[in-house]
Amino acid sequence: MTSFIRSLSAETLKLKRTLALWMVFLAPLIVVSLQFFILYDRAKPSPGTEAWLMYVRSCSALWAIFMLPLFVTLETALLNNLEHTAKSWKQLFALPVSRASVVSAKMMMNFLLIGISTIILSILVAVSAKLLSALQPAFVMPGLPVELIVRSAFLPFIASWLIIAIHSWISMRWHGFALSLGVGIGLCSSRFLLPAQGQERTTHGCFHSTRYPKRGGCLPW
């Protein structure tokens, strides 16, 4: 456990002034900003509860379907590419810590970064909703449905654990930022070729890893 904590601490230090760290803030900001301006420009009069539901679900859908799978791909590739670029994998494995600790720390850092980004998404959704309500009279959202916001943000995150694990392994196993990114983009693109309705979707599309965040995966949520 001590070696794992040391490895995790070392991974944290490597993140300073890197694009991987900036993307934790930029990815949710892009999603919320895009949805904010769309609804600000095209808002229709809606009751408070319906307005909240519409806004939270639209942000969650944009995040889960489009941004999250690509964000996971980019984040894991950026984080592990630090070692590939410096050619320091052999040096890492030569340190007096187990290989399992090094790999586990990198994997955990990927999960932590995506998790922090999910928390930031929840905060931005709440803040932007209140701002939209103040600026757009047709879109009044009283109160703050914390449970709805948290559930809509964190269920896709939990359902994305398989994607994070797969892309973490790919980006650690093979050198090359373009390769990791290409695999992620290819998987994200291939899911749109799968049937959207019917029994075939249930038996095939349901097991496509990048579709898991859309509705909490195949889990009964």
Per-residue pLDDT of the chain (221 residues), as tens digits, is: 677 888 888 878 888 888 889 999 999 999 999 988 888 777 665 665 677 888 888 899 899 888 898 899 888 888 877 777 667 777 777 777 777 888 888 889 999 999 999 999 999 999 998 888 888 776 767 778 888 899 989 999 998 888 888 888 888 877 766 777 777 777 776 665 655 544 444 444 444 444 555 545 433 33
Judge whether 186 lies within some domain. yes
Judge whether 31 lies within some domain. yes
Confidence (pLDDT) at 144: 83
Judge whether 221 lies within some domain. no
Judge whether 209 lies within some domain. yes
Confidence (pLDDT) at 32: 94
Confidence (pLDDT) at 45: 57
Confidence (pLDDT) at 199: 42
Confidence (pLDDT) at 44: 65
pTM score, two decimals? 0.79
Domain residues for the domain of 152 are 2-215
Confidence (pLDDT) at 218: 39
Judge whether 93 lies within some domain. yes
Judge whether 110 lies within some domain. yes
Q: 3-state SS of the chain?
A: CHHHHHHHHHHHHHCCCCHHHHHHHHHHHHHHHHHHHHHHHHCCCCCHHHHHHHHHHHHHHHHHHHHHHHHHHHHHHHHHHHHHHHCCHHHHHHCCCCHHHHHHHHHHHHHHHHHHHHHHHHHHHHHHHHHHHHHCCCCCCCCCCHHHHHHHHHHHHHHCHHHHHHHHHHHHHCCCHHHHHHHHHHHHHHHHHCCCCHHHHHHCHHHCHHHHHHHCCCCCC
Confidence (pLDDT) at 182: 74
Judge whether 18 lies within some domain. yes
Domain count, the chain: 1
Judge whether 54 lies within some domain. yes
